Amino acid sequence: MPVPMTMERKQAAYTNLRLAAFAICRIRGTPSRGRSTKGQQYSHIYFTRLHHMRNLLHALVPSWKPQVPVTTVLGLEEGKDCIIVGTLYKHMKLKPSILDEYSKERSAIPLVKPHNFMHPDDHLILEDESGRVTLAGAIAPAEYVTGVVLALRGKETSAGNFLVEDVLEAGLPHQTSLSAADEDKYVVFVSGLSVGSATFNPLQFQFLIDHITGHLGDENEQSIASKIARVVVAGNSVHISPRFLNGQMVASKDQSRIAEPIKELDIMLTQLVASLPVDIMPGCHDPANFSLPQQTIDDLYKYSDAKDRLEFMERTLRWRHLAPTAPNSLGCYPYTDKDPFLIDSCPHVYFVGNQDKYETRLFEGPEKQKVRLICIPRFSDSGVAVMLNLRNLECSTLSFSTSFDA
Amino acid sequence: MASSGVKDFYRQKKKGGMTKASPSSKKKTQQYTGGASVRATDTAQTSALISHGSWDLKDDFGDHEEQLRQFDMDLKFGPCIGVTRLQRWERASAMGLQPPAHLRDLLLGAPSTKNHSSSGPSPECLWEGKV
């Protein structure tokens, strides 16, 4: 009888680099005044964002358009060729306004919203501390969103607009080179498990776990699985029925059912974590603090246009900002001393979870930066998880099906 | 916001004529707090200044507070509402905007916010409690 081969799982060094960047260091409270939190406004985020990005853009301007003067919006002179730097605001006709909720009757069914709020009449406005000016010319509103900081070259027209001739984005930041690895090591990404939802298939998830932990397949499959060093669960792991979450009283017989999906997820993840390290990230439907902006790429899809989701991701890298539409159409904490979503060094892997389908591209920057862009599909819909090779940043899929008529 | 009430912020450098000033100043105080969110401490603060008699108490305090108010209003350092002056100073310093160093010393010497009427500049921005 052949002796079964023992295989050891590969291990990879891991450091969480950005945890401190998002920490809320000071939540101001003055109990003597009877308030628990200070009412910070969002102007601080925009101020720090503009300041940081403007420094970057000013450094790039001399090599982009030498000899052209840089001026503030208030300092624009009609007909004079110059460069202005500021934050974009996109005026959108169809963008829902909070005031609409007061004008219409409140109904129990949510009002049907258009999937995408774009309209041919949308126009862009550039704003800095001194003022704002409407933009026209070589800048397409469909490609941009509110919150992006740019440098624009052009001149003021007699109508009081700024006619844009050329646009400068900050571009990809510097990337530290990937240390050469001599062996294949994989990270598995999965998202949209949706444990507790109608579309959740426990057998499909169990297959994934069994494959990763080496309980499935022959020696070939097991040796591949032994090279998986880590699993990243990218959001929406749990689905809790909305009727428990709308603020109404939950009957006692239902109370135990609220936690069922979390308990089930716990049992499944226990099997995984016994075998290898797992990172779990909260998604927009997960019961976690409303801390980081969720659905940043989906929000870009609502307010602008691109050929695919990966192109939105490329734009966020060129704009050097993870969530440009925050806080305009995406919620976030009103930071006062920094904008933590600015991208200061180019990532090697950039992924988005809970997408409709799997997509990937290796995006190359002007200074030989290489970024693996990944759209991870919802596992409960597709049965697809993504496998990334850390040695060469190649991407493949793990696909699980439980039906026989595939 | 009643602009006449802003005069209560800044010391009126008058020599004497206190009794004449009191009733009209009190009237301005009433107009001012009527426009903003009403807090008992603010009314007490301004009437305390008048009731103590002389305007020329503690010249230094007036100057320091004046400088800090100019710091609050300076656009270069960003919005002032929602952060303490010290936080705003630290932020400006971290961003390389070079805020005047002596203002930080002033702010570190400031007493707690409960003590309005006596010496010491306020650690909060000038709009604190009023917007």
Query: What residues have CB less than 8 Å from A114, skipping those under 6 apart?
Result: A94
- A interface mutation test: which of B39, B85, B87, B93 has the most A CBs within 10 A? B87
Q: What is the pLDDT of residues A369-381, one digit of tens each?
A: 999 999 999 999 9
Q: Within an 8 Å CB–CB cutoff, is residue B128 touching chain A? A: no
Q: Which residues of B touch A33 (CB under 8 A)?
A: 129
Q: Looking at the structure, do residues A223 and A354 belong to the same domain, yes or no?
A: yes
Q: What is the pTM assigned to this prediction?
A: 0.80
Q: Looking at the structure, do residues A145 and A192 belong to the same domain, yes or no?
A: no
Angle at CA of residue A296, ends A291 and A298, nearest 5°: 130
Between B46 and A59, the more confident residue is A59
Structure tokens at B51: 């009731």
Q: Looking at the structure, do residues A252 and A152 belong to the same domain, yes or no?
A: no
A205 falls within a domain? yes
Indicate whether A23 pLDDT > 80: no
A19 falls within a domain? no
Instruction: Pick B82's closest partner by Cβ from A30, A39, A129.
Output: A39
Between A396 and B118, the more confident residue is A396
Rounded CA separation A150/A371 (Å): 22
Between A132 and A33, the more confident residue is A132
- The answer to whether A205 and A272 are in contact (CB under 8 A) is no
Beta strand pairing call for A359-364 and A370-377? antiparallel
Rounded CA separation A190/A14 (Å): 18
Range of the domain at A275: 182-290+346-399
Beta strand pairing call for A123-127 and A132-137? antiparallel
A334 falls within a domain? no
- The answer to whether A374 and A395 are in contact (CB under 8 A) is yes
Domain end position, chosen among A118, A146, A168: A168
Indicate whether B16 pLDDT > 60: no
The CATH number linked to A84 is 2.40.50.430
Q: What is the pLDDT of residues A79-121, one digit of tens each?
A: 999 999 999 999 998 887 777 666 665 554 455 556 788 888 8
Indicate whether B53 pLDDT > 90: no
A322 falls within a domain? no
- B interface mutation test: which of A24, A35, A47 has the most B CBs within 10 A? A47
Q: Looking at the structure, do residues A230 and A355 belong to the same domain, yes or no?
A: yes
Domain end position, chosen among A137, A168, A199: A168
Structure tokens at B127: 């709009």
State the average pLDDT over residues A168-189: 92
Q: Within an 8 Å CB–CB cutoff, is residue A39 touching chain B? A: yes
Determine the residue of chain B that is closest to A55 in CA distance. B95
Q: Tell me, what's the pLDDT at B32?
A: 29
A259 falls within a domain? yes
The CATH number linked to A350 is 3.60.21.50
Nearest CA of chain B to the CA of A328: how many Å?
18
Alpha-helical runs (H) found in A130-283: 202-212, 219-225, 252-258, 260-273
Q: Looking at the structure, do residues A153 and A242 belong to the same domain, yes or no?
A: no
